[in-house]
Homo-oligomer: A and B are copies of this chain.
Amino acid sequence: MNTAEIITVGDELLIGQTVDTNSAWMGMQLSMTGIRVNRITSVSDRREEIINALNEALGRVQLVLMTGGLGPTSDDITKETLAEYFGTRLVTDPEVLAEITDRITRRNLEMNDNNRRQALVPECCRVLANHGGTAPGMLFEKDGKLVISMPGVPSEMKMIMQEHVLPMVSEMTRGRTIIHRNVMTYGTFEAKLAERLEGFEKELPASVKLAYLPAHGVIKLRLTGTGDNGPEVRRTVEEQVVKLYGIIPDVIYGEDEVTLEETVGKLLSVRNLTLATAESCTGGKIASLITSVPGSSGWFIGSVVAYSNSIKTGLLGVDPGTIRRYGAVSEECVREMAEGVLRLSGAEYAIAVTGIAGPDGGTPEKPVGTVWIAVASESGVIAERHRFADDRMINISRSAYTALNMLRKQIISS
């Protein structure tokens, strides 16, 4: 059972109102456990379409993962169709009903027929509990083949995959070892990184593959080792990880899916230090990234989102003369912002950002994408000017991550 297919169900996928991100995520997870995805098929919420796709997929492979069409509304017919396909009826699952009831009553709402319908499952399936929503996952077995149906909401699908499906399929592919190791980098470009790693790539053992996975400025280097001898595969991959640290020590910030905000959080908390931010063009993005990390209240004091100049001067104490003379997007202003929030918060470190995210507000001297970033501590302020992109969302995200990376470098060098 080393190949699988994915079927995603929903009219919204076919008319392009929703981009199917589920199958890419599932494809990546499956391939990491050693399962090759043979085909991805998206079909509409129609009985015959779902049945045809399922029949065809089961004619090619023994494992089919499905998402979508499990909502409580009448356009969602996957569950009924699966019951019909596997020649069974829908029955109420008491555990699912209890979980839904709990979920609804905790919100002080009343259970209605639609909620109760969500607890109906095909009698022959094994229920895969969904702790993120009301539609459970369902596992069907027939003639030694497996069909797994999951909700289309990405967060719920991921929870069910991680809790139930991936452990199960890893079990099925035992014997063969596939090891993935990720080395996380920030502060360079893919083409530049590829140039620096040209020799490394040429010398890679045949059993190890390297992939570049860029996202939001972070480039994840994924090393995948394959073989029948587990310990040997593991050792070979580890050797390559060590080699990478020798070649590009300046851009590696962590390993295995760790984010920059988690890395910064760990650096601060082990040193018992705290952080505050003063954000103009990032508009709270840095604070929002930081507070997405559980436990961040231990090392994050807070932020002043100084979107208007009145907050920069009134709250952060930036000299109005500084803004008049140099503008709000200037080294002078970002330094005063960083010092201001350091003073206000009593934190050991402060980040400040001011820039032009766009689409408007650019000038010939300060075009859209111009961003000043400062990191302040009792030992002084360091400020950098950056020029990112023409796109507002990219500018906000790059500014935030670049600021976190500056802070990271500051902490480890002091």
Interface residues of A (CB under 8 A from B): 11-21, 23-29, 31, 36-45, 49, 53, 56, 71-76, 106-109, 112-115, 118, 131-132, 134, 153, 155, 180, 182, 189-195, 201, 209-215, 220, 222, 224, 277, 279, 281-288, 290-292, 294-297, 300-308, 310-311, 314-315, 344-346, 357-361, 369, 387-394, 396
**Cβ B16 vs Cβ A25 within 8 A:** yes
**Cβ A360 vs Cβ B212 within 8 A:** no
| Among B14, B153, B213, B358, contact of A38 (Cβ-Cβ < 8 Å) | B14
Measured between beta carbons, the chain B residues less than 8 angstroms from A396 are: 291-292
Number of this chain's copies in the assembly equals 2
Measured between beta carbons, the chain B residues less than 8 angstroms from A189 are: 109
CB distance from A224 to the nearest CB of B (A): 8
CB distance from A346 to the nearest CB of B (A): 7
Measured between beta carbons, the chain B residues less than 8 angstroms from A281 are: 291
Q: How far is the CA of A53 from the CA of B204 in the complex (A)?
A: 29
| Among B73, B195, B300, contact of A194 (Cβ-Cβ < 8 Å) | B73
| A24 touching B18 in the complex, CB below 8 Å, given contacts A71-B212, A190-B73 | yes
Measured between beta carbons, the chain B residues less than 8 angstroms from A26 are: 16
CB distance from A267 to the nearest CB of B (A): 18
Q: How far is the CA of A24 from the CA of B22 in the complex (A)?
A: 13
CB distance from A92 to the nearest CB of B (A): 15
Q: How far is the CA of A389 from the CA of B193 in the complex (A)?
A: 41
Chain A residues touching B, majority SS:
mixed
**Cβ A292 vs Cβ B301 within 8 A:** no
CB distance from A35 to the nearest CB of B (A): 10
- A–B Cβ pairs within 8 angstroms, 11 of them: A13-B27, A14-B27, A17-B211, A39-B42, A40-B42, A75-B212, A283-B288, A284-B284, A284-B305, A292-B392, A303-B304
Measured between beta carbons, the chain B residues less than 8 angstroms from A224 are: 11, 15
**Cβ A24 vs Cβ B13 within 8 A:** yes
**Cβ B211 vs Cβ A12 within 8 A:** yes
**Cβ A213 vs Cβ B17 within 8 A:** yes
Nearest-CB residue, chain B, relative to A41? B41
CB distance from A363 to the nearest CB of B (A): 15
**Cβ A16 vs Cβ B12 within 8 A:** no
Q: How far is the CA of A288 from the CA of B287 in the complex (A)?
A: 9
Measured between beta carbons, the chain B residues less than 8 angstroms from A193 are: 73
Q: How far is the CA of A26 from the CA of B296 in the complex (A)?
A: 37
Measured between beta carbons, the chain B residues less than 8 angstroms from A76 are: 212
Q: Output the residue of A28, A74, A132 with the most chain B CB within 10 A.
A: A74
CB distance from A413 to the nearest CB of B (A): 23
**Cβ A307 vs Cβ B291 within 8 A:** yes
**Cβ A194 vs Cβ B114 within 8 A:** yes
Measured between beta carbons, the chain B residues less than 8 angstroms from A53 are: 39
**Cβ B16 vs Cβ A24 within 8 A:** yes
**Cβ A195 vs Cβ B24 within 8 A:** no
CB distance from A289 to the nearest CB of B (A): 8
**Cβ A42 vs Cβ B14 within 8 A:** no
| A191 touching B134 in the complex, CB below 8 Å, given contacts A283-B296, A301-B307, A396-B292 | yes
| Among B19, B210, B294, contact of A392 (Cβ-Cβ < 8 Å) | B294
> A39-B49, A283-B300 are known contacts; what are 13 more A-B pairs with Cβ within 8 Å?
A17-B222, A19-B24, A20-B23, A56-B56, A277-B305, A283-B290, A284-B284, A284-B303, A291-B396, A301-B308, A301-B310, A302-B306, A311-B345
| Among B15, B194, B297, contact of A72 (Cβ-Cβ < 8 Å) | B194
Q: How far is the CA of A71 from the CA of B28 in the complex (A)?
A: 23
Q: How far is the CA of A211 from the CA of B68 in the complex (A)?
A: 13
**Cβ A191 vs Cβ B294 within 8 A:** no
Nearest-CB residue, chain B, relative to A367? B106
Q: How far is the CA of A225 from the CA of B396 in the complex (A)?
A: 38
**Cβ B297 vs Cβ A302 within 8 A:** no
CB distance from A113 to the nearest CB of B (A): 7
